[in-house]
Amino acid sequence: RGLLALNQGRLDDAAAALGRALTARAAIVGDDVEIARTLSALGHVARLRGDLAGARAHHLRALTIDRAALGERHVDVARDLHNLGGVLRLAGELDGAERAYREALAIRTAALGPDHADVALVENSLGLIALDRGELAGAEAHLRAALTVFTARAHFDRAIALANLARVALARGDGAAALATIDQAIALDRAQLPAQHERLAANLLVAARAALVAGDRREAGARAAEAERAIPPGAAAMSWWNAWRG
């Protein structure tokens, strides 16, 4: 129930159901890998709520449990590291985030091979670290590596890599390239997501900014209006933007 509520964006319901599941299982078996998975989900809920301290605590506890139960090189450990890296990045702790991401990348590459979607997800995240640092060539390299894998696999997250490449183009001041790229992401989102969804709204805002940089104020206004219509009821704009940007 907790995961279903999380996937539907019902964060309060997700937190309550996952918290009950955590308490019940911990009382019976103590810390185990199922507890770690529940903690991982709770970390996602906290991140989406903008509670980075809570998210960090959940992901660190999951990481500690999985390392003890599964060893240092297990893919579940990589999951925890990647989740932790995302929280650290949003908190502005880029060096710590990069260390977590690179450790996750090494584990996933060794276990799954370089062309796996989970490896591409970490490449995407490393691209965001480079983008946050203003290292645009490095950001583009990581994001194109991610996009290549996602495209080959027709993966859902192709839209994320495209949206982040649009942000690289924006950082270069190339509004036309950013708009062309984000429109590819928006087309994928419209085919895959509800008409009101956090990621779609965020990408429409990127399109509005790209149109403005390209000098088309009318188009920028139209895209901003589309973004407003795409925001789900009750969404807190800055929290969902930060949570979904990577």
Query: How does DSSP classify residue 116?
Result: S
Question: Across residues 203-228, what is the average pLDDT?
Answer: 96
pTM: 0.89
Closest among 167, 189, 191, 192 to 179, alpha carbons compared: 167
Contact predicate 36/65, CB 8 Å? yes
Q: Position of tokens 């490095």?
A: 138
Alpha-helical segments (H) within the chain = 2-7, 11-29, 33-48, 52-70, 75-90, 94-112, 117-132, 136-152, 158-171, 175-192, 198-213, 217-230, 237-244
Residue 180 confidence class, pLDDT cut points 50, 70, 90: very high
- Using CB atoms within 10 Å of the CB of residue 18, give its burial: 0 to 12 exposed, 13 to 18 middle, 19+ buried: buried
Rounded Cα gap, residues 220 and 218, in angstroms: 5
Residues of the chain above pLDDT 70, percent = 95
Residues of the chain above pLDDT 90, percent = 83
Please list, in sequence order, all residues whose beta carbon lies within 8 angstroms of the beta carbon of residue 29, skipping any fewer than 6 positions away.
Answer: 35
- pLDDT tens, 107-159? 999 999 999 999 999 999 999 999 999 999 999 999 999 999 999 999 999 99
Closest among 70, 54, 68, 73 to 11, alpha carbons compared: 54
